[in-house]
Amino acid sequence: MLKRGKNAISFILSAALIVSGFSISSGRVKAEGEEGYGLSNPRVTYDYVETISFGKYWQEDTNDTNWVDEEDDKQPITWRILKKYDDGTALVLSDKVLDEKLYHNAKHNLNDDNVDHSCTWETSTIREWLNNTFLNEAFTEEEQKLIVKEKLVNSNNVEYGTEGGNDTEDFVFLLSLDDITNEEYGFDEDYYCKDESRVTTKTGYAYWAGDDWWLRSPGSNSSEAACVSYDGRVILSDREVYLKGVGVRPAMRVNISNLEINNKIKNLKFSVWDTIKFGKDEEGKDIIWRVLNVSGDKALILSNGMVVGTSYNKEYGDITWKDSLVRSWLNNDFYESSFNNEEKAAIISTLIHTNNNPIHTTSLGGEDTEDNVFLLSLEDVINPLYGFPDIYDVDSNTRKVYNWKGESRNWWLRSPGNVQFDVAYVDSNGSASWFGDDAENALGIRPALYIDLSLGGWEKGDTFNSDDIHEQEEISNDPTPTPVQSPTPDSIHTTEPDITPTPAGKSDNSSSTPSTVPMEVVSPTVSPTVTPTVSPSPAVTKDKVTTFNIKNKATVKTSSKIKIKDKDKIKKITLNGKTIKIKKNKTSITIKLKSYKKKLKKKGKWNTLKVTDKKGNVKTIKFKTK
């Protein structure tokens, strides 16, 4: 779950289908269809980040040259308020990347190529630029009087121990590693979380800035600096200070007493869906579905859990939704075995349009199809009206799904990946991957369909809150369908399907085209296509080879080192549910607890260390610190 700061304001929005945008209200908006069937559209809660407009800088093209430079007019800068103070000041961060600069340009002091790029924040050229050039270009003399010189603590790199240097006093600065994981400022405490609160865009003037933006903290050595990636993850190393193409988001402490405060930026906090019971699984249990949209008698529903883990397609090669193995399986085996005649009559045959990949548009979505059951698309899982965030590459509980063992999994979408033989999916953290995965890999399946509520066959269930994601049930406790001849993956992934209404007969693959539209209710027919087979989730065997240098339920010092060995090679380590960045495929790894103070629980509380090896074996131990 994304955690927000004290200054963030939460509002409840009803995700009703409104062409002009969101219906914003301080209360709950009654959803269409509620009176007749007691079902509502998803209820979405947002955190609204307060902003101010202060200073001006070159940002967008104002002189119609199709290029942005110093010949354009400066435009007001929007700043996000991270924290307010009792003295009327606030810590603020620029909403967008405003410029592109080297963190440190050592060559301006030396004449040869043998340049020592070592620096700290105190000695960096970006600090000099921010507190001189940027300060004078962006703010008038009167505005500069409102900016407070801030005392900055320049801590060492938390993972590598690289020295942060002397503390400084600055008018304008970059955020630190401590700042960017500070929940009080509205950020997630996990460096590796794809945190929506850390995601931003760049101005036209910052055109040459790439995907990352600088932090002031050092990297793995004194010639590197930490930064934030395009998807909100924090990069602790491997960004050299002389690297071009890294963006700048200035921060400062400013007196906001006489400035107008706005609430223009919002981040999705959690969503609540109504559910229905419709159909039965292999064990005769009710299949639970989330209601993504209800309009009159029609409802779009998505399975609340994954029904099975299977390949998108059996063989390696170019593939579209129309010719996929999983489409055939959903509309034959799954359809026939999960629904009785009354339920089948209520399922609406739907024209499905699948757009091209939104980034690599040459990866085609293929021909339109007519389906009873389908998978969601990339467009669907970034549709706030369905209860999802409007960004692909951010982690979100709203898109997470868990298997019967309580493990979050990846799940297939129907959209193409970045190349024609890859397919988009949602990963185990709830991030939608447009890049995709190999179609022959086994990921989770979450069917979606339209039903006519007036024809019955369904029963209203409980509401489902994305904050309570761990209570989610998988539809099938232990699916064991016939295996296909495809590589066995390390894990079965599951993601949430996405569907958008679209006019019947539309076959253009442009990205603006919605995904699906209900057709006339017809008697479903099953064509004699090849019946697909699906792969079972790979068995997780008991781990007998992972060893630790401490005993389970031991009490250790916070300065201790935990040594982990596994002859099958270590794939993943988590501490209290937070992933620890490691060099993969190592048989021995040492964890320095002092480097993970933020992940540790308070002294006397149990910490959980979980190790997964390349074969999928999992070993967990608990320990306390003193």
Give the per-residue pLDDT at 601.
83
For the stretch 199-222, pLDDT in tens is 999 999 999 998 899 999 999 999
Give the per-residue pLDDT at 13.
32
Report the range of poorest mean pLDDT among 142-146, 378-382, 595-599: 595-599
Which residues on neighbouring strands pair with residue 218, listed in sequence order?
A: 225
Report the range of poorest mean pLDDT among 3-12, 133-142, 307-316, 355-364: 3-12
Residue 23 has pLDDT above 60, yes or no: no
Residue 10 has pLDDT above 90, yes or no: no
Question: How many C-beta atoms surround the C-beta of residue 11 within 10 A?
Answer: 17
Residue 524 has pLDDT above 50, yes or no: no
Look at the domain 547-625 and name its fold: Immunoglobulin-like (2.60.40)
In terms of average pLDDT, the best of 34-43, 67-76, 553-562, 586-595 is: 67-76
Confidence band, pLDDT 50/70/90 cuts, at residue 238: confident
Q: Decide: 381 and 498 in contact? Cβ < 8 Å.
A: yes
Q: Any idea which residue has 């010949």 for tokens?
A: 71
Q: Decide: 224 and 237 in contact? Cβ < 8 Å.
A: yes
State phi, psi for 181 to the nearest 5 degrees: -120, 20
Residue 518 has pLDDT above 90, yes or no: no
d(CA 84, CA 36): 47
Confidence band, pLDDT 50/70/90 cuts, at residue 36: low
d(CA 160, CA 225): 12
Do the strands 275-280 and 168-170 form a parallel or antiparallel pair, or are they unpaired?
Answer: unpaired
d(CA 109, CA 3): 44
Confidence band, pLDDT 50/70/90 cuts, at residue 526: very low
Stated as kind and residue range, the H or E segment containing 384 is none
For the stretch 295-332, pLDDT in tens is 999 999 999 999 999 999 988 899 999 999 999 999 99
Give the per-residue pLDDT at 545.
67
Residue 334's nearest CA partner among 410, 279, 292, 405 is 279
Give the per-residue pLDDT at 170.
98
d(CA 385, CA 17): 6
Residue 475 has pLDDT above 60, yes or no: no
Q: Decide: 399 and 426 in contact? Cβ < 8 Å.
A: yes
Residue 107 has pLDDT above 80, yes or no: no
Do the strands 147-148 and 251-255 form a parallel or antiparallel pair, or are they unpaired?
Answer: antiparallel
Tokens at 16, concatenated: 């009703």
Mean pLDDT of 369-382: 98
Which ranges constitute the DSSP H helices of 132-289? 135-138, 141-144, 177-180
Average pLDDT of the chain?
82
Report the range of poorest mean pLDDT among 320-329, 399-408, 486-495: 486-495
Query: What is the DSSP-derived secondary structure letter of residue 469?
Result: G
d(CA 138, CA 398): 39
Give the residue with greater pLDDT, 572 vs 44: 44
Tokens at 276, concatenated: 């229905």
Which residues on neighbouring strands pair with residue 241, listed in sequence order?
A: none
Domain regions of the chain by residue span: 51-264, 274-518, 547-625
Question: How many C-beta atoms surround the C-beta of residue 484 within 10 A?
Answer: 18
Residue 279 has pLDDT above 80, yes or no: yes
Give the per-residue pLDDT at 315.
85
* pLDDT over 90 percentage in the chain: 61
For the stretch 428-446, pLDDT in tens is 999 999 999 999 999 999 9
Chain CA centroid to CA 388, Å: 10
d(CA 189, CA 155): 16
Give the residue with greater pLDDT, 284 vs 599: 284
Residue 21 has pLDDT above 70, yes or no: no
For the stretch 182-191, pLDDT in tens is 999 999 988 9
Give the residue with greater pLDDT, 21 vs 143: 143
* pLDDT over 70 percentage in the chain: 80
